[in-house]
Structure 1
């Protein structure tokens, strides 16, 4: 009878230890990666002003998404999610690479963005400048008033 009681106590200890081990393992953070972002080496092969939509897709792969209305660009998005216990998964990091094209389909800019504390942060930008500032027509018109020389009016 004493041997049976010892066996029962040791079986309970094993069950408790296994249960504790499962509980601790269930509370360990697990990470999942979604999406694809090209590496710096791959992006260095994309030449602004030279490459086209087809050459970009061939060089670094098909985009996660592209411009919907006017097919303005390719977007590569990668997200890392953290699962911790029974709570909802939370994004730990998010990275976006945006490759924009001009009307003829040639690369006009390569930009890399990150998500820090809910704010979009530009990490890297390679964009050709059009020379026109991002302002309204009226602001450009009024801004050029002081740049007119009297000699230019007489010609």
Structure 2
């Protein structure tokens, strides 16, 4: 009988150790974000889609609207026991292009408390030529003529 109790104790300890080992937290990285040194080699206003691919590689995703940009995304995901995996860190590098395919802007974003936060931004031109929807809307307020609306 003494041998059976000892075997049972060792079996329970072994099962407990295996159960605790399964509760270990692990982190996995998904995706790719180019290092800052490589991003510094890209010059907005000069480099094109082809040179971006040569310098830092093919992107994880690209813009679906007019193929407007390249997006490099890297996420760190925490896995713990039976719990749902959670994203603990996310880095996004967005490279936008003008209609001619020349680099227009390079922006980096991070994940801070579940909100996307811009980390850096490099823009080559001002937005003087770009008129937003709100600016267009308010720009037309003074241009209305009541006589024209009434057909006079």
Shorter-chain TM-score: what band?
Answer: 0.7 to 0.9
**1:29–1:134 distance in 2 versus 1, CA, 3 Å:** farther
What residue is the counterpart of 1:50 in the other structure?
46
What residue is the counterpart of 1:59 in the other structure?
55
**1:69–1:41 distance in 2 versus 1, CA, 3 Å:** same
Larger radius of gyration: 1
What is the TM-score when the length of structure 2 is the normalising length? 0.83
What residue is the counterpart of 2:5 in the other structure?
9
Q: What is the rounded CA distance, in whole Å, between the counterparts of 2:16 and 2:2 in structure 1?
A: 21
What residue is the counterpart of 1:149 in the other structure?
none
Q: CA deviation at 1:134?
A: 5.9
Secondary structure of the structure 2 residue equivalent to 1:46: coil
**1:84–1:134 distance in 2 versus 1, CA, 3 Å:** farther
Written as runs of structure 1 = structure 2, the 5 A alignment for 1:125-144 is: 125-132=121-128, 135=132, 136-139=135-138
Matched, 1:86 2:85: no
Q: Deviation per CA, 1:58-88: give whole Å up to 9, x if none.
A: 1101000101120100000111111111111
Structure 2, unmatched stretches of 5+, are: 142-152
What is the TM-score when the length of structure 1 is the normalising length? 0.82
Structure 1, unmatched stretches of 5+, are: 143-155
Q: What is the rounded CA distance, in whole Å, between the counterparts of 2:137 and 2:84 in structure 1?
A: 49
**1:140–1:111 distance in 2 versus 1, CA, 3 Å:** farther
Q: What is the rounded CA distance, in whole Å, between the counterparts of 1:139 and 1:92 in structure 2?
A: 42
Matched, 1:106 2:105: no
Q: What is the rounded CA distance, in whole Å, between the counterparts of 2:36 and 2:115 in structure 1?
A: 22
Indicate the RMSD between aligned Cα atoms, in angstroms: 1.7
Q: CA deviation at 1:14?
A: 1.5
